[in-house]
Every structure is written in C-alpha cells, then in structure tokens.
Amino acid sequence: MKKPILELQNVSLQYQNADASVSLALHEIHTSIHEGEIVSVVGRSGCGKTSLLMLLSGLMKPTSGEILYEHKGITTPSRERVIIFQNHLLFPWKTALQNIEFVLRARNFTGNLEKEAEKYLRLVHLEKYKNRYPQELSIGMQQRVGIARALSSDPKVLLFDEPFASLDGETRNEVLEEVFSVVRGLKKTMVLVTHNIEEAVYIGERILVMSGTPGEIVKEIQVNIPKTKNIIDMRYRPQYIRLEKQIRKYVV
Amino acid sequence: MKKQSHIFRFEVILFFLLLWEVLSFHGLVNSLLFPPPSRILLSFKDLLISGELIHDVAISFERVIVGFSISLCTAIPLALLLGTNKKLHAVVSPFIDFIKPIPPIAWIPIAIIWFGIGNNLAYFVTMIASFFPIFTNTFVGVENVPKEDLEVAKCFGANTRMQLLDIIIPSSLPYIFSGIRVGLGIAWMSIVAAEMVTSISGLGYLITANQQMLRLDRVFVSMMTIGLVGMVMDSLVVRLRKKVVRWK
C-alpha cells in the first residue's frame, strides 16, 4: 500500500459574500490521496470541486479541518503541487518557450533554460511552436503547453481544474488521450476535477463523487476498468456503462 | 479600403484649403485674421530657412522630453509600489487625489517663484502635466493584473521580484502605454502654454511674439507645427507600443 501524500481531515470551507453573509462551500471532507495515484473528482458545477483543488494547492485555506501534504500542514502554495487551471493557463505576454522558462527560473534551474524548456515542449509535441504567443495557438495547443509548463516545475502532485472543458468533443478526446499518455508515464500523483464522468473514468484510478451545496464527498469508487488507449474504446464497455450509471446516481 | 479612406481624407483637406485660398483671394474672408494657406506656406518656408522654427521646436521638444522622462521615472515606480501595497496606497492616495485635479497651468505662478523663468520651470510644468496620466493608468494596470496569473506564478514558486517583473509589469504594459500617450500629449500642450506665459524661446513664445506683431500667418505656422510634432510623437508611441505589447 502506497503512503498517503495528501490528506484532508474534516475540511470545511466558508466564503464571505459581498453582503457579509457566509456561504458554506465544502462540508467535512475527509479523504486521502496516495503517492502516484490518479484521482478524479467528479460533480456538478458549483459543488465545490474547484475550491477543493484550491485548498490542495495551498491557494486557499480551510475554515476548519486540516490538509496535510506529506504529513505536514499546507500553509502556502508550492511548486510541488501545481494547479492547471481551465482558463488562464498561460501568460499571454510570453511565448510558449518563455512560459516554460519562467517556471524553470522560478525553481532556480541553473542549466540551459532554452534547451530544458524545449525538452518539455517536445513532450507534448509542440517544439515547432516554441516562439508562438498563446493566442497564436489553438486552445488544444494552449492546454498542452500549459501541461508542459506544469511538468517543467517538476511537481510531485498535478492538480487539474477541468483542463479540457473549453475544448469541443473530438479535440477534447484527442488532447486528453495525448496528454494523459504522457502524464501517466511520469508516475505523478494527479487530481483531476471535472464534471465529465467519461473523462473522470478514463483518467482516474479512483473517483471521488461530490454532490450538494455545501459540497461533500458522497461516494468513493475504485475504477477497475482496464485503461484503453482511446476514450471511445472505453465508452462501449459494459463495465464502463455500469460505472457511469452508478456515478450518475450520486452526482444527480 | 484603408488606402481609399486616406485618399478621401486628403481630398477633403485639400478642398478645404482651396476654398479658404479662393475666399481669401476674393476678399470674402479677412486675410489679416485668416491668412490664406499660400501665405502660411511661405511663412513656414521663411521660418524653416532662417532656422527659427527648428530652433524653437528643438527647445520645446527638449523641455518636454526632460520633464516627461522625470515623470516616467517617478510615476511608474510609484504606481507599481502603491498598486502592490494596499497599506501604503491608503496613506499616499489622499495626497495624490488632492493634487491630481490641479491643472498644470495653475502651477506656473508658484513654479516661477520656485524655479525662476527658464528651463527648470518648463521641466517642472511638463513633469506635473504628464505625471498623473502615467501614474493613474499604471496604477489601474496593476489593479487589473488577473488574480489567476499571480496565483499561477505563486504556485510555481515565483518570488516577489519575478512576480513584479514577469507578471505585474508585462500585464500592466497596455495601460502604461495608454498613460504615456495621454501624458505626452498633455506635456506637449502644457509646455506651449508655459512658454506663452513665461519663456523667451520655444513654440509657445513664437506664437506670443508673432501675435503681438499681428503676424497671424506665423502664429498659424507655429500652431500647425505644434499639431504636427504632437501627432508625430503620438504615432511614435503607438509604434513602440505595437512592438513592445506584441501579444495584444
């Protein structure tokens, strides 16, 4: 059994609204994520999935409860737990290469910045586009550069906030398959937040189903379907259909 | 399409100038008050050949550049400092909000006493004139840096210096350039006004001196030169912006 890398202990989160009233976003979340594990968090919009990810990254602090990373409380963001946002993935004033170089500089990389940055662009097959600004790339390419940039920080945990939500169906499948074939090989711990059940099952080894307002984990499901090369192959398997039905029951 | 619209604009101006010339020639317009374009053109040639015009343009230009550079070097760092430090902003902003509405020309009487009549006064007026547009726009730029960009940077472990140099400043650049455009325009307008009141040289002085001699043709030449130089400076800033803010 692998050791837990992230532990959430009865974590609750409250927001203060503009009118000074308080909203409870997350209620008593209690779970742990193990080293090298790929966990999908699935739930409807507004159930607190992104808030959960922000807490894990250290960008937000829980109102009560504790979040541990390698058995120590999370107090600040760290490049060991990198979050990949749905939007605002890349800095628009930097080229694809410069976006990655920025991260390398932030982690005090001392070697040849350009060569190292190119190495990460090669991982996502975008080395030819290194001098393009994000807006000169397609959304799918931007996502791939964003993931290359996240990987360049050499994180232990990758936190994905619906990274493929802005892509259309076919492009989403292509990017998702390509990106995760690379990312799986790196044996990193990953947490993917999504409202898309298919995506959650395709990527995750374990699924945390969230529901309600405030958000709670209502079910944890182990994915025992063998991983297929592409998402369409998985879609028609009876195990997947059963699993989807089960998840949908809790999400709704 | 763009070329066609340029040609159309040129034709309209040409038509207007011709009309003015014809009306002047037939005495339908008082040529003392509205000297015809041909006379303005001749005066322009005379002033150019004598070197008087270039000399005055150079003097006014130098004054604007010095004053403007001082405000550039002070307004941008101050705006970055206040934009990133809420406590300091709370302390300093009342003073800025109080001084900001005072027109640059209103500083001239007090500046005469402080600096005497000369270049220092001119630098001060252009500095005051351009400071607030640059400061305000830069400050708004810093305030509008997307929170997510800063969060991403922090997440990757960027230190304060990297956050400033790689995120806050580049993200604010479009606003900074807007401030520079407005600031430079106001500085140019203010120097002419200051020279009209105080100076013994510069384009503002050229206007006043010729107005006193009723040489309105030369006054028109000076005014048109002011417009032309202002336009050229603005277009240079726009070009620079396009080069620097390439992602927009």
Those residues of chain A that have pLDDT short of 70 are 1, 88, 252
User: Hey, what are B175's tokens?
Assistant: 């606003």
Domains contained in chain B, number:
2
Please tell me whether residues B114 and B23 are part of one structural domain.
Answer: no
Question: Could you tell me the pTM of the whole model?
Answer: 0.81
Who among B149, B171, B247 is closest to A133 (CB)?
B247
Inter-axis angle of helices B52-84 and B119-143, nearest 10 = 40
Q: Report the chain B residue with the minimal C-alpha distance to residue A94.
A: B247
In chain B, whose CA is at the least distance from the CA of A131? B247
Report the topology of domain A4-80+157-251.
Rossmann fold (3.40.50)
Low-confidence ranges of chain B (pLDDT < 50): none
Same domain for B65 and B13: no
- Token digits for B66? 């010095």
Quickly list DSSP for B133-176. HHHHHHHHHHHTS-HHHHHHHHHTT--HHHIIIIIIHHHHHHHH
List A193's β-bridge partners, or say none. Answer: A41, A161
Tell whether B6 and B48 lie within a shared domain: no
Pair A28, A12: CB distance under 8 Å = yes
From B156, B159, B171, residue closest to A103, measured CB to CB: B156
Cβ contacts from A onto B, under 8 A: 62
CB B124 within 8 A of CB B107: yes
What pLDDT, on a 0 to 100 scale, did the predictor assign at position A76?
A: 86
Residues B8, B86 share a domain: no
Q: Do B100 and B133 fall into the same domain?
A: yes
pLDDT digits (tens, 9 = 90+) for B52-72: 999 999 999 999 999 999 999
Q: Give the sheet arrangement for strand A22-34, strand by strand.
A: A22-34, A4-16, A64-69, A72-73
Statement to judge: residues B162 and B119 lie in one domain:
yes
Q: How far is A57 from chain B (nearest CA, A)?
A: 7
Q: Which residues are registered as beta bridge partners of A41?
A: A193, A208
Q: At A217, which helix (H) or strand (E)?
A: strand A216-222
Which domain range does residue B143 map to? 35-244
> Does residue B123 share a domain with residue B14?
no
Chain B residues within 8 A of A77 when measuring between CB atoms = 151, 154-155, 157
* Nearest chain A Cα distance for residue B154, angstroms: 7
Q: Is B230 near chain A, with CB under 8 Å?
A: no
CB-closest option in B148, B153, B247 to A93: B247
A59 with B159: Cβ contact below 8 A: no
- Give the count of beta carbons closer than 10 Å to the beta carbon of residue B28: 9
Residues of B in contact with A85 (CB under 8 A): 148, 152
Partners of residue A59 in chain B, C-beta under 8 Å = 151, 154-155
Q: Residue A137, Cβ neighbours under 10 Å: how many? A: 18
- Domain check: are B78 and B98 in the same one? yes
Same domain, B230 and B116: yes
HSE toward the beta carbon, residue A93, CA cutoff 13 A: 18
Cα Rg of chain B (Å, integer): 22
φ, ψ of residue A12 to 5 degrees: the values are -125, 150
The reply to whether residue A102 touches residue B162, judged by beta carbons under 8 angstroms, is yes
Chain A residue with CA closest to B145: the answer is A91
pLDDT of residue A18: 80
The pLDDT value given to residue B148: 85
Domain with CATH 3.40.50.300 in chain A: 4-80+157-251
| Residue B199 and residue B83 in one domain | yes
Considering the domain architecture, whether residues B12 and B126 belong to the same structural domain is answered as: no
Q: b/e for B120-148, b at 16 or more Cβ within 10 A? A: ebbbbbbbbbbbbbbbbbbbbbbeebeee
H helices of A126-237, where? 139-152, 169-185, 197-203, 231-235
Inspect the interface and report whether the beta carbons of B153 and A106 lie closer than 8 Å. yes
Q: Cis bond leading into A214, ω under 30°?
A: yes
Rg (CA), chain A: 18
Residue A141, token pair as written in the block: 């390419």
Whether B238 and B122 share a structural domain: yes
Write down the pLDDT at residue B3. Answer: 65
Residue B223 maps to which CATH number? 1.10.3720.10
Say what the ipTM of the complex is: 0.77
Structural tokens at position B23: 């009306």
Produce one character per residue of A108-120: b if its CB has 16 or more CB atoms within 10 Å, e if not. Answer: ebeeebeeebbeb
CB A107 to CB B149 under 8 A?
no
| pLDDT at residue A214 in the model | 85
